[in-house]
């Protein structure tokens, strides 16, 4: 059976649409709380961008700037020497790590490099934050 151009295009579009809508079966049960980062890596939930100025003006979505700080939500349990702990508020490079989405939440996975270079620029000790620290 020969396919004409119209039939071939419809079939190609159907296959392409199915590929875009397909989701791996394992992805259905993935939970953010169960995610374990690779050794020497941490997972950070970045602070949301400001939607309004201090004066009350609404900032359009195109002009909102992602913040470069957030809370650590996961560390590898086998990294006994890791100086970062879950719940710490850290400041990181603007283009740090890899942004991924789990359970509809954007999180950043960052590598901790032992040679002094890191995407993490600093952190605030928990005792200095008191009740300002809100971990997701």
Mean pLDDT by 10 residues, the chain (136 residues): 58 70 58 83 85 81 76 84 83 85 86 71 72 44
> Measured in whole angstroms, how far is the alpha carbon of residue 18 from the centre of its chain?
26
CA nearest neighbour of 90 among 54, 117, 51, 129: 129
Please indicate, yes or no, if residue 84 is contained in any of the structural domains.
yes
pTM of the model: 0.64
Spatial separation of the C-alpha atoms in residues 96 and 94, rounded to whole Å: 6
Please indicate, yes or no, if residue 73 is contained in any of the structural domains.
yes
Domain count for the chain: 1
Q: Find the domain containing 104 and state its range.
A: 29-132
Output the pLDDT for position 3: 52
């Amino acid at each position: 059976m020969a396919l004409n151009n119209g039939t071939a295009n419809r079939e190609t579009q159907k296959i392409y649409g199915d590929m875009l809508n397909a989701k791996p079966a394992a992805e259905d049960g993935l939970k953010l709380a169960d995610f374990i980062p690779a050794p020497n890596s941490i997972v950070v939930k970045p602070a949301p961008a400001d939607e309004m100025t201090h004066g009350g003006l609404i900032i359009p979505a195109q002009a909102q700037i992602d913040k470069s700080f957030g809370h650590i939500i996961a560390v590898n349990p086998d990294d006994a020497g890791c100086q970062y702990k879950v719940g710490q508020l850290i400041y990181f490079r603007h283009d740090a790590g890899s942004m991924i989405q789990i359970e509809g939440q954007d999180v950043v996975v960052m590598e901790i490099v032992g040679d002094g270079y890191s995407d993490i620029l600093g952190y605030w000790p928990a005792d200095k934050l008191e009740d300002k620290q809100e971990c997701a």
